[in-house]
Structure 1
């Protein structure tokens, strides 16, 4: 299974982080609108359908610890040209855990995907995904993530664990 080393952090100053990421990537980034539908799945994995809202999507299964700081994420991705019908099938078969709507600004810096996300109901976040090479160790991937965190001035205190869906469900009032 392919893997990444990932971190997620809250962002207070979106303009400053975007400027630093733009400078490091030598690009303005790519804007991507996404709707992630999470389905019930056996722990510790997560299953989501990412709808790019343009008729394309990805079904993604991943396993990742819910800890702060750089962590290993293993994943499998299947492309789809009909995310709406696939959502209906999976909703009926597995049930929906929840949805995350976001606008993502993607920057590519070396082997790392830097996401500056505006998540509906949560606010602004940054994710780093160090795309691991087959010969790289977890420690090497973590070092790449930590070095980029320093370059982007991302503090340890701003790191969060879990997925956006978990954060949204924590914020939801009990019924």
Structure 2
């Protein structure tokens, strides 16, 4: 199963973070609009990501709910019929919730730096250090920590869980 080391954090100064991400990636980034439908499952998280080109990705992943760098194991399947698959999975499993976001993607070495605007939540950043075969979790965590420092991400800005968890917590309050 593929894996990555990730962190998520609240963004206090989107302009500064974006400028640093542009400098590190030597690019203007790629704008991606996504809608993730999360389904009710007993373990891990299962989401169907609707992409702007009309395709989708069914993604199952497991990772601990803690702040800081954490290992995430995932599996992914592509679909050309995300609406039909959403209907089938909704009927079979039930929908937990939907996350809509606008994301700028910057590639820095083996890391995907995301600067996200999440509908109903605000501005966040996410690092995904895509693990190479044979690479240790500790190496991935060290890369994530170094990028956190270069991007100006503070430990107190780190968040636990996924965007869907934050949205669900907001609905319960």
Q: TM-score, normalised by structure 1?
A: 0.97
> Could you tell me how far 1:173 is from its partner in structure 2?
3.9
For residue 135 of structure 1, report the CA deviation from its aligned partner.
Answer: 1.2
Which ranges in structure 1 are unaligned for 5 or more consecutive residues?
Answer: none
Q: What is the match of residue 110 of structure 1?
A: 109
* TM-score, structure 2 normalization: 0.98
Q: Within 2, Cα distance between the matches of 1:5 and 1:78?
A: 20
Aligned-partner Cα distance in 1 for 2:132–2:108:
15
Q: Which residue of 2 aligns with 1:31?
A: 31
Aligned to 2:41: 41
- Cα distance in 2 for partners of 1:139, 1:61 equals 23
Gaps of 5+ in 2: none
CA apart distance, 1:82: 0.8
**Alignment length (residue pairs):** 173
Distance in 2 (alpha carbons) for counterparts of 1:157 and 1:96? 31
Structure 1 residues 73-112: aligned runs within 5 Å: 73-112=72-111
Structure 1 match to 2:119: 120
Cα distance in 2 for partners of 1:61, 1:92 equals 18
Which secondary structure does the structure 2 equivalent of 1:28 belong to? coil
1:42 to partner: Cα distance: 1.1
Instruction: Name the counterpart of 2:133.
Output: 134
